[in-house]
Structure 1
Amino acid sequence: MDRERSWQVIESERLSLADLLDTLTEPEWDRPSLCAGWRVRDVAAHVALAPQPPGPWTMLAEGVRARGSFHRLNHDISVRHADRAGADLVAELRTHAASRRLPPMTNHRNILFDILVHGQDIAIPLSRDRTMPLDAARTGAARVWAMGWPFWARRRLAGIRLRATDIDWTAGHGPHEVRGPIDALLLLLTGRAASLDRLRGDGVATLTAHLARNSARSGYLRSKRSAR
């Protein structure tokens, strides 16, 4: 997926997430998300902040406050930003949906899978349907697979072949196969155990046991939880 198409999807996903959030009750805003230790409102605030990142001096001060931990910094900024009415977060998402500003040390490829995955972090615990565009999910999966920190997908999924069943995408090699929709595979790559019930293959049992032992301590879920 090229840069322009990526930004178009990012804008669309921000707007559709705003529409979903606009329907939530107050208790739903405070439900746990798929990110360990993060409420729905915290994830929404994190997404809303992406196109309006703090300036360098603010980031420096936040870094000192977080004692040098990027994950704690990320968490604390999001939680403080979440301390406002849900309607205000919805309005921010809509206002900045088309923005192409980037937080420090990232790029549009990361923002693309970030909005896709965080949309599911919110929707799945609330039992809301949220469909990922296939081409965007494939691009996100390829990006996460190629990365190291914070997911370490190739390390965590060593010995497993991944195969999408709804679009042409494969990754990995080994004696075991895991197959399923590309959106479920993207969630798996980013450490979300919630994807396992939509996946098939002889590698699923291995992954289920692994994630049950380590999901709170590995990959993206580790980065979210350790910020508490």
Structure 2
Amino acid sequence: MTSDWQTVHQERRALAEDLASLTPQEWATASLCEGWDVHDVVAHLTGSARTTRRRFWWSLIRAGLSFDRANAREVAAERAPSPAETLQRFESTITSTEAPPGPLTTRLIEIVVHGEDIRRPLGIRRPAMPPELRDTLAYLARDHLSGGRKRLTGLELVATDGGFTIGSGQTVQGPALSLLLAASGRPVALQDLQGPGLALLHSRLGA
């Protein structure tokens, strides 16, 4: 098992610990993922951690090559009647190394970003940043499929708490995690950022 998988597992475990103390009302809180509450996001993470390459393609074909329909079916399948049961399912995947097609760094992006999709609306402060955040931002800056490249072209991202810079162009600076969230299309992170390139990033996120 690579150190990257170890980091993914650590992030899953940290999220499970945060979820364990939530009330039923908090599980029903709207997440940063449009149309999904906290319960839905956890169900999605569970399904993703169980997805093999073969299962991914089969699910996508059944959904008519629609990622949205495939994700909706996955959430419906993994969302248990109660939050406690869904959490138990998620905990069973903490050390999974199954993954849909794509570089391993996408697994870290998924758990970190979706973790914040849950934590931020609930006011939960996450653990310390994994050092691999630089690699995740560098990946998004050149990735077409996620929309990261389109959002970040012509921008220089400066992580004020990480000591690194990604890209070139108009500067946007702020905490590494907020840069990652903005690169992933979360407008809520813009309030943590500043710099001459912020207006451009703001317009690209439609905020």
TM-score (norm 2): 0.89
Query: Is the counterpart of residue 119 in structure 1 residue 109 in structure 2?
Result: no
Unaligned runs of 5+ in 2: none
Q: How far apart are 1:23 and its partner, in Å?
A: 1.2
**Counterparts of 1:41 and 1:4 in 2: how far apart (Å)?**
30
1:200 aligns with 2:194: yes
Q: Using the alignment, how far apart are the partners of 2:35 and 2:123 within structure 1?
A: 19
Equivalent position amino acid for 2:163 in 1: D
Structure 1 residue 89: deviation in Å? 2.1
Shift of 1:47: 1.1
Report the RMSD for the aligned CA atoms in angstroms. Answer: 2.2
Post-superposition offset of 1:98: 1.3
Higher relative contact order (CA 8 A, sep 6+): 1
Once residues 65 and 130 of structure 1 are traced to their aligned partners in structure 2, the CA distance between those partners, rounded to angstroms, is: 36
Alignment-derived partner of residue 44 in structure 1: 42
Q: Which amino acid letter does the alignment assign opposite residue 203 of structure 1? A: G
The residue aligned with 2:135 is: 139
Cα deviation for residue 167 of structure 1 reads 1.7
AA partner of residue 197 (structure 1): Q
Cα distance change, pair 98–57 in 1 and its aligned pair in 2 (3 A):
closer
Cα separation, 1, equivalents of 2:104 and 2:190: 28
Question: Is 1:134–1:167's contact at 8 Å kept on the other side of the alignment?
Answer: no
Residues 178-216 of structure 1, C-alpha deviation per residue, up to 9 Å, x if partnerless?
001111111111011111111111222333344235xxx
Which aligned pairs between 1:17-56 and structure 2 lie closer than 5 A?
A: 17-53=15-51, 56=54
- Percent identical residues: 33
The answer on whether the counterparts of 1:15 and 1:93 sit within 8 Å (CA) in structure 2 is no
Relative to 1, partners in 2 of residues 1:58 and 1:202: Cα closer, same or farther, differing over 3 Å?
Answer: closer
For residue 184 of structure 1, what is the amino acid of its counterpart? S
Residue of structure 2 equivalent to 1:11: 9
